[in-house]
A and B are shown apart, each in its own frame.
Chain A
Amino acid sequence: MPILTQEQAKALLTKTLSYSKAEQCEINLSGADSGNIRYARNSVSTSGGTSTNSLVVTSAFGKKSGTATINEFDDASLEKVVRRSEELAKLAPENPEFMPFLGPQKYGPESPTFSESTAKMGAKERADAVQASLEQAKANKLTAAGFLSNSAGISALMNSKGLFAYNKYTNVAFNITVKTEDGKGSGYATKGYNDFTKLNAEAATAIAAKKALSSVAARAVEPGKYTVILEPTAVAVMLENLFFDMDARRADEGRSSMSKPGGKTKMGEQLLDERVNIYSDPWHPELPTAVWSGDGRPQEKVNWIEKGIVKNLYASRYWAQKTGIKSIPTPGGAIMQGGTKSLEELIKGTEKGILVTRLWYIRPVDPQTLLLTGLTRDGTFYIENGEIKFPVKNFRFNESPIIMLNNLEELGKSERTVSAESNINYILPPLKIRDFTFTSLSDAI
């Protein structure tokens, strides 16, 4: 089934809803076409494509609800899935936290999450992009391993309270690791876009190639506390753990880094350096996201951290109602306000420090302090007197993004980047941080 327009989705959902006999009924429609190609050792290894469509129907009687799904769209199947969800609802235990579905909502203007160029991408476009990347790697006598994927899809929501929402989106993800022939140098690049025409696989490969070539013959430097400059993709994997922890319920329950002794939360507190401003904005031109959340709540521009102060926490509708806080859904992306300096200018202003281009295998160590561990990877360099002097061996770190954002020296210009851990896209600056804690050395390249 091709990607449905807003009118087609509305018609299908209206028809499905007409079969409902429940007290309340809500239907989610989603569909996506996606494809990918993977390569390694300078050669394609696997590729694939999937096309999926599904209709998720939730029926409710009082506080009992049941959900059923179907991927056939003839009238009989549509009626069947509605009946099925009603039967399941009648059998389900009462859920004391069940919230009645939302009525009609006012959403902001459509966000440019869809790009025609990406929707038209096929195996040939993917293979061409990979070929350009491979040629760039081979020209430098390097070995490339990479992954390119694209998808185009829709999500739509309708319920018996009169709510309707629709969104159409596209995504492209490209990431590449390039190694020198002797295996002693390694570089990485990752890019995420809504619009395929913005992807330059050759240029991204060139960035990875440069890092690979300049990271050969890394020297061992004693672990300890260092001033570091983190490139945006390294910032992403640290900061997203802070974003994931901004849930009001867990903070209220006393079991997150947002909890305070005595049962309070850190809302309204100066948690971070006052230059830290983090927000989400569905209409940001470089990171457009859907203007409604999965449960139908509007997505708006939200300030999460303002001048280092915790301004908002996200919450389920149930928890927001129970505690009387504003009901804010988890955002589609996060944006950190940057400064004006480029990465090069940050390096230039650094007397002694380490340039970290990527962090990897990030795991929580202590949820109370949000202490994380992980390692540098694919290009780590020693900076002295404003210049990159030599590549250094990789480090393991143990650091908390909260401590890190209190040890902030400088912010560079923000850019769209991708977390290599979660694949989520963000807009983040490179950061210069003092006293970043490296606890041991790694021989990995």
Chain B
Amino acid sequence: MKRKDFLYLSGMGMGALLLPDLSAFGTPIDPLQALDGVDVKIKKELADVALNAAKSKGATYADIRIGRYLNQFVATREKRVQGVANTESYGVGIRVLANGCWGFAATNNVTKDAIAKAAEQAVAVAKANSKIQGEPVQLAPQKGYGEVSWKTPIEINAFEVPVKEKVDLLLNVNDIAMQNGANFVNSVIFAVNEQKYFASTDGSYIDQDVHRIYPNFNVTRIDRASGQFKTRNSLSSPMGKGYEYMHARPEDKVSGIVTRYKGRYDMLEDVKEAARVASEKIKAKSVEPGKYDLVLDPSHLWLTIHESVGHPTELDRVLGYEANYAGTSFLTLDKWESKKFKFGSDKVNIVADKTQVGSLGAVGYDDEGVKCKKWDLIKDGILVSYQAIRDQAHIIGLTESNGCCYSQGWDDVQFQRMPNVSLQPGKEKLSVDDMIKNVEKGIYIIGDGSFSIDQQRYNFQFGGQIFYEIKEGKIVGMLNDVAYQANTQEFWNSCNAVCDESDYRLGGSFNDGKGQPSQSSAVSHGSSTARFNGVNVINTARKI
């Protein structure tokens, strides 16, 4: 899904869903059409046309991605269905190396002639650009896998579930919200299916069927007399799952002051609680600014991990390839080379993982034909590695890629994208209740909110959905107007406890943006609840 379209559709940050311009996502199709895949034999034949054409024009390497990208959106507000659509985007992207330079061309005309022409065009682009190319591309070797396939292990294909079932669920969600005091509610189910075929001159022919789902809502409570309004978003996570994610089971619920969810999601229960919380927020007291110990729930902490660990460990940012847009990184190569850069406290162990079941980033092979894996980024607080793809591996002394190359569609060139980046649970037994018991003056934050971080990922500010004040080991009430600001390294060094494995949950972003033109990718971040000592909290209330 393309980021700007997603933002448009979900009205992110504006608390409401705009009417979707669904044509922006692809061609609207009948829901049943989404169930037919393209024959692998045909895809292999088309792929060979591209690879042969590229080689014959002088390419030293070529890959082709034949992609069929399906999206389904069901969007509602209050009693009304705003939009239901199935869209498809189908086409071919060809990437080549010629004269040591990358070239790329794409076409939605999936015929042998058009594909051969696109391959030639990609070689021509590479040759033209090689004139202003500084250093030639060095590609880490990659063995061919032959003909292989991979599929997200789903139980129920969301595209097979009737639209009516989804509409009924969402209207029920809205009804519960309104009955429980909400003035407005928007609810949405997004489903994504990427049918991706990759082939390269290395001898790989990889067929993958990737599924993702994202249910969410936003409720607004208004106090007309004072003019105040408060919102609460759903505590769901986008997941690399099928529609089974919507079928709640008791064992997937995390009880506490607010119910949170693990592998399955109870949208009806969450919206009831959200309407209640939004009403409570209207009356909550404004935070006193100062230093607090923060207890961060995984539904919140995923975004802090994403921005302050995920992005700065992207090797292309470290090297300066993103300098003009997203920025670079404070985690410069010398810090990694020293082998003793203290990114965080010794409680901080962070892994990159493209294989985690149920996560948004999980695939069998990345978009340049590398088998996916898991590796350490931060080990006992020390920076030990980055995220690297084939043309970067040599820079950090790797003999093979980390397998984290991705493109949002057939018509965009693939580049280094964040794998799932997750904080490992604490090794010793520790529950959230036990963690809170030891906090004298703190704030317990649930759900993600406002986020902003600088272009080298030093200074950040995060909000949240729900804030509870902790005094002498007890939750004493709800707070408003909370945002915390910190320096990444100081923040992670202030991490003095992480709950055990039993609290581990995934959060994630359905639409992480990077690159020019900007591309979107989906990525999960797991953690257990973690504690950070003495973090600076500001009060965000203003009068206009």
Contact = CB atoms under 8 A, between A and B. Distances in A.
Interface of A: 28, 36-50, 54, 56, 67-71, 88, 92-93, 95-97, 123-124, 127, 130-131, 134, 143, 145-147, 149, 175-177, 179, 188, 244, 250, 253-255, 257, 259-263, 294, 316, 360-371, 373-375, 377, 394, 396, 398, 400, 402-403, 439-445
Contacts of B225: 261-262
Given A67-B22, A261-B225, A439-B485, A47 B129 contact: yes
Contact of B463 (A96, A253, A365, A368): A365
Contacts of B80: 95-97
B327 interface: yes
B108 interface: yes
Contacts of B27: 54, 69-71
A20 to B, nearest CB: 17
A250 B132 contact: no
Contacts of A394: 454, 459
A43 B81 contact: no
B476 to A, nearest CB: 23
B516 A50 contact: no
Given A361-B454, A443-B456, A69 B321 contact: no
Which 6 pairs from chain A and chain B are nearest by CB?
Answer: A261-B227, A43-B134, A442-B459, A444-B456, A444-B454, A145-B323
Tier of interface size on chain B: 35 or more
B324 A177 contact: yes
Given A41-B134, A366-B481, A255 B229 contact: yes
B133 A36 contact: no
A41 B442 CA distance: 44
B227 A259 contact: yes
Nearest to B104: A48
Given A68-B28, A443-B458, A444-B458, A41 B319 contact: yes
Interface string B134-173: 1100000000000000000000000000000001000000
Contacts of B13: 363-364, 367
- Most chain B Cβ neighbours within 10 Å, of A70, A362, A369, A375: A375
B16 interface: yes
A43 B23 contact: no
A67 B541 CA distance: 44
A93 B167 contact: yes
A403 B102 CA distance: 48
Interface stretch (B343-351, B382-390, B445-453): B445-453
Contacts of B454: 360-361, 375, 377, 394, 396, 442, 444
A124 B131 CA distance: 11
Contacts of B538: 398, 439
Contact of A398 (B85, B105, B540): B540
A201 B135 CA distance: 23
Contact of B461 (A43, A145, A373): A373
A71 B108 contact: yes
Main secondary structure, interface of A, reads: strand
B228 interface: yes
B427 to A, nearest CB: 32
Interface in B292-351: 319-325, 327, 330
Contacts of A364: 13-14, 450
A426 B502 CA distance: 52
B222 A42 contact: no
Contacts of A71: 27, 108
B544 A43 contact: no
Contact of A254 (B101, B167, B183, B330): B183
B129 A127 contact: yes
Contacts of B103: 47
Contacts of A250: 14, 16
A226 B480 CA distance: 26
Contacts of B131: 127
A368 B125 CA distance: 49
Nearest to A223: B485
Contact of B452 (A97, A176, A262, A374): A374
B229 A254 contact: yes
Contact of A56 (B23, B106, B413, B543): B23
A64 to B, nearest CB: 11
Contacts of B108: 71
Interface string B509-544: 000000011000000000000000000101011111
B323 A36 contact: no
29 contacts: A40-B323, A41-B134, A43-B132, A47-B103, A47-B129, A48-B106, A95-B80, A123-B125, A127-B132, A143-B320, A145-B321, A145-B322, A188-B324, A250-B14, A253-B183, A254-B224, A254-B229, A255-B15, A255-B231, A261-B224, A361-B453, A361-B454, A363-B452, A367-B13, A369-B544, A371-B540, A377-B454, A439-B485, A440-B459
A261 B226 contact: yes
A147 B322 CA distance: 11
Contacts of B493: none
A46 B102 contact: yes
Contacts of A130: 132
Given A50-B106, A145-B321, A254-B183, A260 B227 contact: yes
A175 B458 contact: no
Interface in B208-240: 220, 222, 224-229, 231
Contact of B104 (A28, A47, A253, A441): A47
Nearest to B319: A41
Contacts of B28: 67-69, 88
A97 B106 CA distance: 39
Given A443-B459, A444-B458, A363 B451 contact: yes
A245 to B, nearest CB: 8
Contacts of A68: 28
B133 A44 contact: yes
Contacts of B226: 261
Interface in B437-471: 450-459, 461, 463
Contacts of A443: 330, 456, 458-459, 487
